Amino acid sequence: MKLENIVITGATSELAVSLANKANKLGFNLILISRGKQKKLAPINGTIIKQLDGIDLSDESQQIVIRELIENTFHSKFGLIHFAGDFWTHKPLVHTELLEIKGMMNSHYFTLCNVVQAITPIMIKLGGGKLIAFSCNSVSYNYPDMIPFTCAKSAIETFIKCYGNEYAEYGINSLAIALPTILTERVKQEKPNGDHENYVSPQEISDIILEQLIQLNQFVNGNVVKIFRHSKSFYNQGYFERNPRIKRIDENGG
């Protein structure tokens, strides 16, 4: 069964915009929720599109707003694609303020908890649904200079696994996608010497989500799917050779 209704949170990111545009062209009904202001997306072929700006997904009081919007818009099963989470700039832990560390966990993990608490009762009422959230390959590889970000993504993976077990009986399916480096404009600026031709594009990620992973499957639940493209530089260079701009502690007077 293919879901025809999708809620996208963190809807202003490059990945989310790519997904929304692709889903719109394919005729999905969309609810787009973001903290920042979105560009308006016009419905195609009679689809439903509702956009909600200025929503702090870590604020518990927003659960009511999110729940009411979904209940008033969708009357059949839907999927939640959770893109929310702040961008991470590689740096050592001792040069990272505690406020930024808390911000990583808040923007990636607590926003997911808050939104899923809001939408789970609706999914149960409608007989099921799909939850997709995003991890990172750094969880598997334990890269340096990424501790706050990687820990937040690890929490997302654990959440998805536990959630899949807890709500499978209600027909709810959950999945975490562990992303590699994505070829966005911001990443190209941060990694000017990166292996850009082997980075995965937002459009490719959108295709994976919509064409392969949005299907409901009661036997495949609570899993983490790792995405990567083979790169000679990745397998033949060390981490710091691939990321020459990263400054170590001794270079900063530590």
Which pLDDT score, from 0 to 100, does residue 100 have?
Answer: 96
Give yes or no for residue 233 having a pLDDT over 70.
Answer: no
pLDDT confidence band for 175 (50 / 70 / 90): very high
Tokens of 218: 């009661």
Give yes or no for residue 253 having a pLDDT over 50.
Answer: no
pLDDT digits (tens, 9 = 90+) for 69-103: 999 999 999 999 999 999 888 899 999 999 999 99
Sheet with strand 223-226: strands edge to edge? 49-52, 29-33, 5-9, 78-82, 129-136, 172-179, 223-226
The CATH number covering residue 46 comes to: 3.40.50.720
Q: pLDDT > 70: what percent of the chain? A: 89
pLDDT confidence band for 254 (50 / 70 / 90): very low
pLDDT confidence band for 213 (50 / 70 / 90): low
Domain range enclosing 9: 5-252
Tokens of 252: 């900063």
Predicted model pTM:
0.90
Number of structural domains in the chain:
1
More confident residue, 245 or 171: 171
Which pLDDT score, from 0 to 100, does residue 180 have?
Answer: 85
More confident residue, 157 or 190: 157
